[in-house]
Each structure stands twice: as C-alpha cells, then as structure tokens.
C-alpha cells in the first residue's frame, strides 16, 4: 500500500483514469464512474495498488516503490557475461582473419602445372582494399610475343572497383564475358609480378571467378564480402 | 536506410551488454572514447555520400527507429530487456556485495553519489542507494533522529 502522496509514481492523468476505473482488471474497477473526475491522490493510490498486485511490475521495498526484479537482474547479468564472451570470441576470430587479413583469410595458391602463384584474401570487407598478387610464368609466352595476358570474368569484376594495376596493362579488352589485361614483358624475363589493387563494391555476397593466365595457369578465386 | 538501423541496434546491443555504468561516469577518458565511437559510427553511417538528402534520410531513420523503440518499450518485457530494472545496492547503510559485483560498482562510487547529492559523509548514513535504469546512483539518506 502506498504510504503517502509522494511515494506514488507520477503518471499521466488520462492513463490513470482509464486503468483504475475503466479496466476490469483494476482493483477499483467502476464502470459507472468511468471518465468521472476524481482526486489525483485517489487515482494515484489506486494505480499503485493496481501495479503492486501485478507481479513484478512494481515492488514496495521497506517503504520505497521501486521497479526492481532481482531475478531479472541476475538473468540479465548472465546474458551480459555471455554477450561479453561472444564479443571476445568475435574479436579473436577477427584477429584470426575471419573478416580480413589473417590465417583464416590469407590464401596462396599455386598452379600445379605451371608453378605460378596467386596471393589474395578469402574474407574481405565492403569498401576495403583487396589485392590479387600474381607471380606469372612468362617463359611460356609465344615466341616473339612480348605481351602476356591475364583474364578475369566480368561477373567477378562487377563486384569490385579496380583502383590500380601494377604494372599498368598495355591493353585492356573485353571478350566472351571476360576482361583481358595484356601486359608488356621484357625480353627473356621468365617471371612477371602483377598486382591488382581492388576495392569491394558490393556486400554480403560470395564472389567467385576463375583467373586464367596466358601460360594456361588457372586460379579459382573465392571471396566473401562482409558489410 | 538499413545502415542506420543496423548501427542503431548494434550500439543498443553493445551498450546493453557493457552494462549500465559504462557511460554514466564521464571521465576525460570516457569523453575521448565517446568521441572515437561517434567518429567511427559516422564513417559507417554516411559512407562517401555527403549529400543533404543522405543526411535527411539518416536523421529521419534514426529518429523513427528511436520512436519505434519507445513504442515497443510500452511492453514491460521489452522495456526491461532494453533498459533493465532499478536495483537496490545499499540497504540500511549496508552495501549488498553480490549486487555491487554484478553491476561493477564499488563503495567509492556510492559514497561519491551520496556526497554529491546529500553531503553525506559515511555509507552508514545511507538508507537506500538505488542503481537506476540509466546507470545513475540515487541516494535516500537515513532519517535524522
């Protein structure tokens, strides 16, 4: 029971009237008086009674009205601890490379036939940079041909913005749903390093594609882009 | 539009998990932390779009999300889930140790609040100290005999 006018919560008059007089669950339910003006003190006392009867909505503890629920607080504490562990686990996975550079993400592929290599990341983030580092074997280029091709599917490139390619390709052309980058190579060079600096444009998708080199080396690219 | 909603809910989750007292005691370091958080969130919210349309969409989305959450909070269950409940942490001058531990509060925080609000000198002069939903500690002093 409320002990005085000041111990009763401040609530909207309209809401009070509706609850204490019109609501059949109210301890002072009075349909005949519904909408009638009664003193704010009576209204407030009735509301306090009404709330206290509803388990857990308001507790009177040694004279103070308080919305306290110890069991809820204990459960909430357990959930918070669980949440903290989840955050810690997430950070560990991030450090391991689940969302970018790291053990889980960094991939180095080698073509078994040509011995060429490609380095990239499996997990990347939206708008963050991603590199394709190709160590191409140019000794297999046709005799007298000082150009070397690397091609990527257009459907793969649609998900990225190419910020730069090192060295710059001599020619870039589109053929059969693939983008072909043609590089000039110095005579007698057996190895060529090519770096594609890209940035992911789309998010929440799994992007796949096959990089084909002129030397017939093939690399299957697979990235997951986080938001 | 999705972006601000996701960020809003993510911040709500992070601050709920971190506990009530995380941002109530604003020390100079907390201020710096808040600035860093706001800067990080801003980057994620606006991306490269600095147009007024984007700002309008962003602000309206955040305000509408907040209004929606306040409507949802009419349900007692949801309100408790989002804001928690008040908790008595000192009763008749005696701190309740397990509750203080759960909420990461020590007796110095309580006596500091008591000094600030009522000029009390000792913890045994406190009848009740309540950790409110917003993380503030309110003090009800012992009645003078």
Q: How much is the pLDDT for B85?
A: 84
Q: pLDDT grade, residue A5 (50/70/90)?
A: very low
- ipTM score of complex: 0.74
User: A186: burial class by Cβ within 10 Å (0-12, 13-18, 19+)?
Assistant: exposed
What pLDDT is stored for residue A53 in this prediction? 52
Mean pLDDT of B117-135: 87
Q: Is the pLDDT of residue B49 over 70?
A: yes
pLDDT of residue B51: 82
> What integer is the mean pLDDT of B104-112?
87
A84·B86 Cβ contact <8 A: no
H helices then E strands: how many in chain B?
Answer: 6, 4
Give me the mean pLDDT over the A124-150 stretch. Answer: 79
B81 → chain A, closest CA residue = A76
How far is the alpha carbon of A91 from chain B, nearest alpha carbon, in Å? 14
Task: Identify the pLDDT of residue B40.
Answer: 87
Asked if residue A47 has pLDDT above 80, the reply is no
Query: Using a CB-CB distance cutoff of 8 angstroms, which residues of chain A are in contact with residue B17?
Result: 79-80, 83-84, 87
Q: Map residue B40 onto helix, strand or coil.
A: helix
pLDDT in tens, A150-208: 999 999 999 999 999 988 988 899 888 899 998 888 777 778 889 999 999 888 889 99
**pLDDT value at residue A164:** 92
Question: Virtual CA dihedral for A21, A25, A26, A32, nearest 10 degrees?
Answer: 30
- Candidates B13, B84, B91; nearest CB to A76: B84
Q: How far is A152 from chain B (nearest CA, A)?
A: 28
Of A68, A76, A127, the CB nearest to B86: A68
Contact between A172 and A151 (Cβ < 8 Å): no
Highest mean pLDDT among A30-34, A135-139, B111-115: B111-115
- Nearest CB to A87: which of B6, B17, B87? B17
Query: A58 CB contacts (<8 Å, ≥6 apart)?
Result: A9, A48, A51, A52, A65, A66, A67
Lowest mean pLDDT among A18-22, A70-74, B34-38: A18-22
Chain A residues lying within 8 Å of B47, measured CB to CB: 127
pLDDT of the residue at A132? 92
* Angle at B51 (CA atoms; ends B50, B57), nearest 5 degrees: 105
């Amino acid at each position: 029971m409320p002990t005085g006018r000041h111990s009763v919560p401040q609530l909207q008059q309209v809401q009070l009237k509706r609850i204490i007089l019109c609501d059949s669950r109210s301890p002072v339910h009075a349909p005949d008086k519904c909408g009638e003006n009664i003193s704010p003190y009576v209204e407030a006392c009735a509301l306090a009674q009404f709330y206290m009867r509803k388990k857990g909505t308001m507790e009177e503890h040694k004279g103070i009205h308080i919305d306290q629920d110890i069991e809820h607080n204990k459960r909430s504490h357990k959930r918070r601890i669980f949440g903290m562990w989840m955050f810690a686990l997430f950070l560990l996975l991030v450090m391991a490379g689940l969302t970018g550079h790291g053990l889980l993400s960094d991939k180095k592929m080698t073509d078994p036939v040509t011995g060429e290599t490609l380095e990239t990341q499996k997990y990347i983030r939206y708008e963050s940079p991603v590199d394709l580092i190709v160590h191409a074997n140019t000794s297999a280029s046709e005799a007298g041909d000082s150009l070397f091709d690397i091609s990527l599917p257009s459907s793969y490139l649609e998900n990225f913005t190419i910020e730069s390619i090192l060295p710059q390709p001599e020619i870039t052309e589109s053929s059969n749903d693939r983008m072909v980058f043609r590089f000039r190579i110095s005579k007698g060079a057996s190895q060529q390093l090519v770096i594609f600096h890209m940035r992911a444009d789309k998010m929440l998708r799994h992007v796949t594609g096959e990089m084909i080199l002129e030397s017939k080396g093939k690399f299957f690219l697979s990235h997951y882009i986080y938001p | 539009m999705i972006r601000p909603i996701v960020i809003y809910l993510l911040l709500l989750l992070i601050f709920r998990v971190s506990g009530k007292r995380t941002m109530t005691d604003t020390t100079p370091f907390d201020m710096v932390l808040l600035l860093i958080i706001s800067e990080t969130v801003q980057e994620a919210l606006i991306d490269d779009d600095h147009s007024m349309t984007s700002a309008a969409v962003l602000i309206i989305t955040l305000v509408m999300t907040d209004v929606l959450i306040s409507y949802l909070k009419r349900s007692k269950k949801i309100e408790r889930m989002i804001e928690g409940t008040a908790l008595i942490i000192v009763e008749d001058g005696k701190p309740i140790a397990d509750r203080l531990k759960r909420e990461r509060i020590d007796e110095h925080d309580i006596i500091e609040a008591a000094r600030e609000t009522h000029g009390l000198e000792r913890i045994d002069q406190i009848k009740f100290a309540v950790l409110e939903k917003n993380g503030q500690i309110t003090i009800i002093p012992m009645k003078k005999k």
